[in-house]
Amino acid sequence: MALDALTDVSDEALLIAFGNGDAGAARALTLRLTPRVLGFASRMLGGDRAEAEDVAQEAMLRLWKVAGEWRQGEAKVTTWLYRVVSNLCTDRLRKARGVGIDQIPEPEDDAASAETGLQDKARAAALQGALDELPERQRQAVILRHIEGMANPDIAVVMDIGVEAVESLTARGKRALAAKLAGRRVELGYEDG
């Protein structure tokens, strides 16, 4: 089946199709979900590309393994996947605890030649630096809410906490980020206040 013919098919339908042996469904899911999984893992792991790739591959492997037993309507595929990524990242962060922030490699500088691209990169890098300084749960909640664009009830499922706790974590996380980046307005392209 052509991949472009699958763009309207839900993640769940594709996963069930893969569970029934449809290799085309796996390709479509890979192309659709890997960028999200990799982005989330990378942000959780301080921009460490190699670690994030390992986490992304492991999370997708676990998705393939559950495909055959996936029960329709029980969970959102993306929520399930973010939860797996979240747990894998937490494990790696625990193992790496004690490694200084300086030892974590800088995010790779791929393209971005245009001026706006450079500014976006500068902003993203500054944000990542500030995110890395947040407590892990706050960082996770802020990334899921404000970068991955998830709804609070879904974040609550991913983090295994209540919706109110999610709201509290994101609010505190945002306040902390706003304070940490206050002195870098000019660098970020904002008017100095």
Measured from the CB of residue 153, what is the shortest distance to other proteins in angstroms?
20
Give whichever of 3 and 160 is closer to other proteins, judged by the CB atom: 3
- Among positions 72-101, residues that touch other proteins (CB under 8 A) are none
* DSSP conformation letters of 120-134: HHHHHHHHHHHHHTS
The three-state secondary structure class of 110 is: coil
Which of 11, 17, 43, 170 touches other proteins (CB under 8 A)? 43
Q: Using CA atoms, how far apart are residues 143 and 131, in angstroms rounded to an integer?
A: 8
Residue 174 contacts other proteins per CB under 8 A: yes
Which of 1, 3, 35, 106 touches other proteins (CB under 8 A)? 35
Q: How many residues does the chain have?
A: 193
Q: Are 58 and 139 in contact (CB under 8 A)?
A: no
Which of 1, 3, 5, 61 touches other proteins (CB under 8 A)? 61
Give whichever of 32 and 160 is closer to other proteins, judged by the CB atom: 32
Residue 56 contacts other proteins per CB under 8 A: yes
C-alpha distances in Å from residue 166, one per residue of 129, 145, 155 = 22, 9, 7
Q: Could you give the angle at the alpha carbon of 54 between the alpha carbons of 132 and 43, nearest 5°? A: 20
Q: Contact region for other proteins (CB under 8 A) — 3-11, 82-90, 132-140, 180-188?
A: 180-188
CA dihedral of 165, 171, 177, 180, whole degrees rounded to 10: -100
Q: Are 81 and 33 in contact (CB under 8 A)?
A: yes
Contact residues for other proteins, defined by CB under 8 A: 18-19, 21, 23, 26-27, 29-31, 34-35, 38-39, 42-43, 49, 52-53, 56-57, 60-61, 64-65, 67-68, 107-108, 110, 112, 117, 119-121, 123-124, 126-128, 146-147, 149, 174-175, 177-179, 181-183, 185, 188, 190, 193
